[in-house]
Every structure is written in C-alpha cells, then in structure tokens.
C-alpha cells in the first residue's frame, strides 16, 4: 500500500487531506503536535479532530512529531522510504499577528520545517510528489495598490483592470512589498519548494491559498476568518472588525475543493509549479457580507465593534485567479460557495458545541 504523509494532519486542510487520500486507498501517516493550541490557546486545539480521524479513518496513523525535529522526521522517512508516494505539507504557523510576537518560532516552523521535509523527501523518496500549502500573503500588500473602488458593502477592483474578470494571477510580484513576518516565512518556504523542484528535478507543487475554510476549522480570533465569525455568531461572542470599514474582500475555498485539487496534482504532477488557489469569483465575500449571511443562517445577531486599525499586511481585496490550475486540470472544479460553506460551518459548530441543548436551557431558565 502506498503511503501518504500529511503534515498538520489534525488541522482543517490536513484532516480533509487525510480523509481523501485514505478513501483513495493510501496508508496515511499524519504528523501533528497540536501547536495550534500553543499559537492561539486551548480553544484552538485540534486534538478533537485528531481523535475523530483516529476513530473514523481505519488506514490512518498519527505521529506526534515536530516538523522542525530533523532527527525524528528522518527516522520516519527512513523507515518507509520509497513506499512514500506523496507528501502533503499543510502544517504552519498561520497568523500575521502571532508571527510578530514570536518571530523565531514562526520562521522555524514555516521555513525550517519545510526545509526538513523537502530534504528528507529528496533523501529517501525522491520520486514522491511534494505538495505545499502556501499563501497569498507571499504577495505582501501589493494587492492593496490595485485600483480599488468602495461600494456599500465591499471593496471591488476597477472593472477595466485585467484582474477584474478572474481575480489575481501568479504574475503579481512578491518583491518590494510589506509581507508581515508570517508572509516572509511563507515566502521562504514557497521558494524552497520551487527550488527543490527545479534544482533536483522533484515533483513539487505550490498552492498559494486565499482563505481556506470548511466545517473542520477550529476558528480563532487570529486565524480562521469564517469559522471564527460563525462561532461568535452562534455563541453570542462579541466580534471585532479590523479596518477597511469591514468591506475587505476575501475569496474562500472549501477544504474539500482544495484537497481535491491536491489529488488532481498528485495524479499528474508537474515540476516546481505554482498556483493561486481559492474560491475565485465563484466564492468570495466582504466582512460585512459574511456577517449578514452568518446571521441569516444562525438566526442570531452578531454583536461587533469596529477598530480603525487594520492588521499589518492585510489585504483590502483578494480574489484568486484559478484559471491556470483549471487549464492544467480541466476535470477539477469548485463545488462550494460562501453560503454552503457557512451553512456547513454552522451545522458542525452546533453539533460539536451542543448549542441546541444550550439554547433550550436558556429558553427554560
């Protein structure tokens, strides 16, 4: 049985990857040490997701390893060698704000950890496909200098601009821009994955994601936009909008659609390829629009405040142009939009937090 190694296997994308590749017949080894709880506190722990995977996915094995620990990672790769067919690297420190608090931790997780995995792949399974979950933050704040217009509910790009129809493509420069320290560490990892492909001829793919989302997300204030927003709505937790009058736009891709893209790449891999990947024009919203949709789905009103200070390196408008990936893999397509994504997040939260029972108790009090 071929082996798929998935880093960050208890996270949103990692967990969805485990399930898909297990369904495809792989023995899946997940690497995860629940650093989300270290980054964002106990409420962001992914331990619940690990337990679900272990109980529900029969050909899955969890390894509590730190991807920065070269000796431990080498031991794993050496034990399985050429049986490893694919490495899907989703583990990361994912927050702008958190990176500034602990730059060494951010950089070593995102950059050094990626280097360890690449080198072990080259050393023990060089024919394996290496898939890396990068980020649109590698472009820094360059998107904020596009010709943007403010409307009642969102910022939008000028209709005459080349990015209007499909969104931002891979031609955008990653130079001369403010990335945030998180963005810089992901740039380092992104370029390393490309270089191992070009220099060593390895089958590496870089997926520069917009907002990656879905019902498996442990949303926290510093990470997981839609999941955290819906959590605040259904639990009646006050929410803060940071800057841009709440009209900042993100495209959002469901974890299933992203992982399905990974599988298409695995089936027909390329060398050192880079893709912008997200919800595109099919699945995007502003903060204000997301609040409105979430309130409608949950039947609750969100209590929120507004801060004029936007997060450093934050984008005013981002919609991914996914044309390049669709051209290379024409059988792949998006299957979820914003409404269906938020509905799934809501339903999963209600089940996991037992909110129906809580509401009944409040009504009878």
In the chain, domain spans: 3-356
Position 361 confidence tier, pLDDT thresholds 50, 70, 90: low
| Fold for the domain defined by 3-356 | Rossmann fold (3.40.50)
Inter-residue contact 39 to 121 (CB < 8 Å) = no
pLDDT in tens, 178-228: 999 999 999 999 999 999 999 999 999 999 998 999 886 666 665 567 989
- Given a cut of 90, whether residue 299 has pLDDT beyond it is yes
What is the predicted pLDDT for the residue at 1? 81
Instruction: Say whether pLDDT at 128 is over 60.
Output: yes
pTM to 2 decimal places? 0.92
Contact (CB, 8 A) for 269 and 335: no
Encode pLDDT of 142-180 as tens digits. Answer: 999 999 999 999 999 999 999 999 999 999 999 999 999
- For the chain, percent of residues with pLDDT exceeding 90: 84
Closest CA to 217 of 36, 28, 357: 36
Burial 48-69 (b: 16+ CB within 10 A, else e): ebbeebeeebebbebbebbbbe
Query: Which residue from 122, 137, 242, 136 is spatially nearest to 180, judged by alpha carbons?
Result: 137
Place of tokens 């298409």: 264
Burial per residue of 155-178, b for 16 or more beta-carbon CB atoms within 10 angstroms, e otherwise:
bbbeeeeebeebbbebebebeebe
List, for residues 143-153, the tens digit of each pLDDT value. 999 999 999 99
d(CA 215, CA 23): 19
Q: How far apart are CA 73 and CA 22, in angstroms?
A: 21
Residue 212 to residue 360: CA distance in whole angstroms? 33
Q: Is the pLDDT of residue 362 over 50?
A: no
The sign of the CA dihedral 246, 249, 253, 258 is negative
* Residue 9: both structure tokens together: 């296997």
* Per-residue pLDDT at 216: 67
Q: 242-260 burial string, b = 16+ CB within 10 Å, else e?
A: bbbbbbbbbbbbbbbbbbb
Distance CA 110, CA 127 (A): 23
């Amino acid at each position: 049985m071929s082996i798929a190694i998935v880093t960050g296997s208890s996270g949103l994308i990692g967990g969805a990857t485990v399930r898909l590749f297990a369904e495809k017949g792989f023995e899946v080894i997940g690497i995860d040490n629940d650093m989300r709880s270290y980054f964002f506190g106990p409420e962001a722990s992914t331990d619940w997701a690990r337990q679900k995977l272990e109980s529900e996915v029969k050909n899955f094995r969890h390894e509590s390893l730190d991807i920065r620990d070269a000796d431990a990672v080498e031991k794993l790769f050496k034990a399985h060698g050429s049986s490893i067919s694919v490495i899907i690297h989703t583990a990361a420190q994912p927050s702008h704000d958190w990176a500034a608090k602990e730059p060494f931790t951010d950089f070593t997780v995102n950059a050094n950890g990626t280097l360890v995995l690449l080198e072990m792949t080259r050393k023990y399974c060089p024919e394996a496909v290496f898939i890396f979950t990068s980020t649109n933050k590698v472009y820094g704040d360059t998107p904020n200098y596009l010709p943007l217009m403010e409307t009642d509910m969102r910022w939008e790009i000028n209709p005459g601009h080349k990015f209007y129809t499909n969104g931002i493509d891979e031609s955008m420069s990653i130079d001369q821009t403010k990335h945030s320290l998180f963005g810089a560490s992901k740039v380092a990892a992104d370029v390393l994955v490309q270089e191992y492909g070009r220099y060593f001829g390895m089958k590496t793919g870089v997926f520069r994601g917009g907002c990656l989302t879905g019902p498996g997300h442990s949303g926290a204030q510093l990470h997981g936009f839609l999941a955290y927003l819906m959590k605040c709505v259904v639990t009646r937790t006050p929410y803060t909008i940071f800057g841009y009058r709440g009209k900042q736009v993100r495209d959002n891709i469901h974890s299933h659609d992203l992982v399905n893209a990974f599988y298409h790449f695995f089936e027909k891999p390329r060398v050192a390829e880079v893709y912008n990947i997200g919800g595109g024009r099919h699945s995007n919203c502003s903060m204000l629009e997301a609040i409105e949709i979430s309130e409608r789905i949950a039947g609750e009103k969100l209590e929120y405040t507004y801060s004029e200070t936007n997060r450093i390196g934050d984008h005013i408008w981002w919609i991914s142009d996914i044309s390049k990936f669709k051209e290379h893999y024409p059988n792949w397509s998006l299957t979820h939009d914003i409404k269906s994504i938020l509905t799934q997040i809501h339903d999963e939260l209600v089940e996991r937090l037992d909110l129906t029972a809580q509401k009944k108790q409040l009504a009878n009090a």
